[in-house]
Structure 1
Amino acid sequence: MEVFKYTLDKGSKKFLCPNCTKKTFVKYIETDTGNYLTDDFGKCDREQNCNYYKAPPKGNKCYLVPILSLKSISDKATKITDANGIINIIPKSQILEQTKNDCWITEWFLKNSSIQYTSNEVKYFYSTVSNFVNEVKEAVQPQQAKYNFHSLELLNEIYFEKPQIDNLTEYLKLRFSNDEVTDAMQNYFITGTNHFWNNSTAFWQIDDKEKIHACKIMQYDRFTGKRIKEPYNHINWLHKATEPEFNLNQCLFGLHRINEDYQKTIAIVESEKTAIIMSILLPHYIWIATGSKGNFKFEMLKPIKKRNIVSYPDKGEYNNWLNKATELNAIGFKIAVSDLIEQTDFENGYDLADYYLNL
C-alpha cells in the first residue's frame, strides 16, 4: 500500500492562493508531523478560474514489474525471473515493494537493465533516511470493497417493460430525426423514469463485461435540452430508490459500446447527453462519457487503455485533462486531448455538443 510523505490538508482551513490571492488555497502537510509546508505548495479550489497547483518534490519513481519468482541470493542482492522468463540480479535497495506476483523496481535500475517496463504501472516511494529503501517490503494488500451491481432484470423492467417518456429524448427529436434519436437511445439503453422527478432520464453505466455499475437519473427541460438546476441540481441515482444499501462503483457511461468495433477510435466527453448527441453527429467514433470532470482518471479509463482515445474536455478543463492524459500516456495509454472548445468564446462549462448545435 502506498504511503505518501505529503498530502493535501483534509481539514476545512483555507489560505490565500499565491496565484489569484483568493482565500481558496489548500496547503500540503507532512503526513508524519501534520506540519504545513511552505506557502507555495498546495492547490487552489478555483479549478476553472485559477487552476494553481504545486506539489512537493516526489520520491523514487518505480515501475511495477510482473515476476515469476524472486529469490534472495545474498544480503544485498536478489534474483528475479520476470514474466518473460528473463533472469536479473537486482540490488535489494532497488526493490521497494513486492508481492507474490510482482514487485516495484526503481526507474534508475530499470533504465540500465533489459527489463521492459515503460508501459507498466508507475508510482513514487518516499524515504526520509536515504535515496533508497534498503530492504524488501512485503506489500500490504488493501481489502477489496464489495461493490454492488444492478440486475439485468431491473434494466429489463425499466427499459423494456415499463418505458417512460423522458424530456431529453423529446428535446432531441426537435433537433434530429426520430430514427436517429431512436438508434442513439437504443445504443445507450436510454429511457425515461418517474423516480424522483417525472419524465427524467435514466443513464445506465454498463461496462464492457455487461455488468451494470449504476444508473444516474437527471431531469432536463423538454424544450431547451438543458439540465434542471433550480431550485437545486436535479441529479440522483436509481439505487437510492431501489437499493438503499447499494455500494456504488461507477464506470464510464457507454463503456459497453467499446466491443462493437475494435478499430474505431474512442472519443471521451464529460456529459452523458453530449456523448449521445455526438454519437449521432460523428458516428465514426465510439462516444463515451466520464459523467464528471473528476472521473477522467486511471481507475475509470483502465478498461480502454489499449485503445486509441481522443478526449474533448469542457471549456475551462483543457489543462486539467491534458495534464492527466500526459500522466496516463506515460504508462501506456494513447490519449489525445482536443483544445477545440478551449479556443472558442464560450463560457466555462460549455462543451462539444454546445459547439456543434450552435454552428
Structure 2
Amino acid sequence: MEVYKYTLDKGSKKFLCPNCTQKTFVKYIDTYTENYLPDEFGKCDREQNCNYHKPPPKGNKYYLIKVLSLKEITDKAIKTTDVNGIITIVPKSQILEQSKNECWISEWFLKNSTIQYLTNEFKYNYSNVSGFINEVKQIIQPLPIAPSYHSLELLDKMYNEKQIDHLTEFLKTLFSKDEVFKATQNYLITGTNICWFNSTVFWQINDKEKIHAGKIMQYDRFTGKRVKEPYNHINWLHKAIKEPDFILNQCLFGLHRVNEDYQKTIAIVESEKTAIVMSIILPHYIWIATGSKGNFKFEMLKPIKKRNIVSFPDKGEYNNWLNKATELNAIGFKISVSEILEQTDFENGFDLADYYLSL
C-alpha cells in the first residue's frame, strides 16, 4: 500500500474553497510536519456543485532493478543484463541511480520493456518538478485509537424523558400516530432540548447494540425540513454534553435493526429522516441511512456485506454511489443502485422520501 507524504486532512476543519468560496474545502496536509500545504491544494466537499480538486503533483516513479552486469556502450546508453539473463539497452536519461549490481530505472521506460518490475521496490524523484511533490514514504502507522461509545444508561435516560421533537410531530401530520410511534420506537428517536428546543437525536447503534454516536438535528415542525438558518442546526451529542475525550467512530443509522429479519433486503438512503419515513411507506425493507453521501463506503457497509442491499442515492449522487457499489461488489458485496430519482425532473439533493411524499 502506498503511503503518501501529502494527504487530505482527515480532521473536521474546513476552509473557504478557492473556486466556489464556500467553507467546504479540505486542505492537503504534510504527514510528517502536519502543516497544511498552500491554499490551492485541496478538495471541495461540494462534489455536485463545485467539484474542485487540486492535489500536489507527483514526481517520476523509478523501480529498483537487480542486474548481473552494467556496461556503458555510448555516452547516452547503458547495456544491462538482469538476473533473468535479459539484456536491455537503457538510455541514461531513464536511469536515476546505478551501482554495480542494481539500478533505478524509470517506470516510463520499464512499461515498454521486457523487464519484470511491478513487484519491485520503487521511489519517486522530484528534482525536475517544481513546488510540492507527493512523494511516497514508508512511515510507521500509529496504533489505532479505540473508539468511544455512549452508555445504554444515557440512551435510556434521554429516551424515557419523552421530550417532544419537531420531526416526530411533523410525521404525525403525514401518518397515523401508531405508524409514527412504531417507526420512532424502532429507531429509538429521542427528543432533546440540549442544543435547541425540540430537536431530534438520531442514535447510531451497531449490530452488536453498541452506541457509536448521537447526532442532534433540529427540524421545522410544520415543514419537516432541517433548520439551516442562520446556521446549520446539527451537532454531536458527545460535544453537546462536553465529553472532550470521546473518540467518534460512526456506524450506519439503523444498523441495530439488521438482525430483526435476516430474509429482508436492506435498503440504504443518505438521510436519517428518509430512512424513518420509508420504513413506514415500504416496511418490507430494513431501512438504514449513511448520514452523509460520503459514508457510502466499505468501512460503514462492512457489517452488512453478506446481505442483499439496494441503495437509493439522492438526486445527483447516482454515479458516485454506482461507482462505489461496483467496487464493493467486486469484493463480495451484493449492492444494487436504484436510479429512480435520476429519472425525475427534481433538483439535485432531492431524496426518496421527497419523491414518495410528492405522489
Task: Give the alignment's TM-score, normalised by structure 1.
Answer: 0.68
Distance in structure 1 (CA, Å) of the matches to 2:247 and 2:30: 32
- 2:125 aligned residue: none
- What one-letter code is carried by the residue in structure 2 that aligns with 1:352? L
- What one-letter code is carried by the residue in structure 1 that aligns with 2:339? D
TM-superposed CA distance for 1:342, in Å, is 1.3
Structure 2 residue 314 is the aligned partner of structure 1 residue 287? no
- 1:156-195 deviation line (CA, Å, top 9, x unaligned): 10012x1200000000000000000000000000021011
Q: Which aligned runs of 4 or more in structure 1 are off by greater than 3 angstroms?
A: 4-17, 24-32, 42-46, 49-57, 127-130, 138-142
Distance in structure 1 (CA, Å) of the matches to 2:26 and 2:195: 36
- What one-letter code is carried by the residue in structure 2 that aligns with 1:348? N
- 1:351 aligned residue: 351
Q: Secondary structure at the match of 2:268?
A: strand
Distance in structure 2 (CA, Å) of the matches to 1:25 and 1:217: 23
Distance in structure 1 (CA, Å) of the matches to 2:190 and 2:233: 17
Distance in structure 1 (CA, Å) of the matches to 2:147 and 2:25: 34
Stretches of structure 2 that go unaligned for 5 or more consecutive residues are 59-105, 111-116, 123-137
Distance in structure 1 (CA, Å) of the matches to 2:276 and 2:198: 18
Distance 1:343 1:28, change over 3 A: farther
- 2:154 aligned residue: 154
Alignment map for 1:189-228 (pairs within 5 Å): 189-228=188-227
- What one-letter code is carried by the residue in structure 2 that aligns with 1:232? Y
Distance in structure 1 (CA, Å) of the matches to 2:288 and 2:263: 16
Contact residue 16 and residue 25 of structure 1 kept, 8 A: no
Q: Which has the larger radius of gyration?
A: 2
Structure 2 residue 161 is the aligned partner of structure 1 residue 174? no
Distance 1:6 1:324, change over 3 A: farther
Contact residue 252 and residue 290 of structure 1 kept, 8 A: yes
- What one-letter code is carried by the residue in structure 1 that aligns with 2:177? N
Distance in structure 1 (CA, Å) of the matches to 2:265 and 2:353: 18
Q: Secondary structure at the match of 1:347?
A: coil
Distance in structure 2 (CA, Å) of the matches to 1:13 and 1:226: 26
- 1:215-259 deviation line (CA, Å, top 9, x unaligned): 001111111101111111110111112242211111000000000
- 1:67 aligned residue: none
Contact residue 164 and residue 192 of structure 1 kept, 8 A: yes
Distance 1:236 1:28, change over 3 A: closer
- What one-letter code is carried by the residue in structure 1 that aligns with 2:313? P
Q: Secondary structure at the match of 1:301?
A: helix
Contact residue 17 and residue 44 of structure 2 kept, 8 A: no
Alignment map for 1:1-359 (pairs within 5 Å): 2-4=2-4, 46-49=46-49, 130-133=117-120, 142-160=142-160, 162-245=161-244, 246-359=246-359
Q: Secondary structure at the match of 1:175?
A: coil
Q: Secondary structure at the match of 1:236?
A: strand
Distance 1:159 1:16, change over 3 A: closer
Task: Give the alignment's TM-score, normalised by structure 2.
Answer: 0.68
TM-superposed CA distance for 1:147, in Å, is 1.4
Contact residue 164 and residue 191 of structure 2 kept, 8 A: yes
TM-superposed CA distance for 1:150, in Å, is 0.2
Task: Please say which of residues 180-189 and 341-350 is displaced more in the overlay.
Answer: 341-350
- Give the CA RMSD over aligned residues: 3.8
> How many residues are treated as equivalent by the alignment?
280
Identical residues among aligned pairs (%): 75
Contact residue 15 and residue 27 of structure 1 kept, 8 A: no
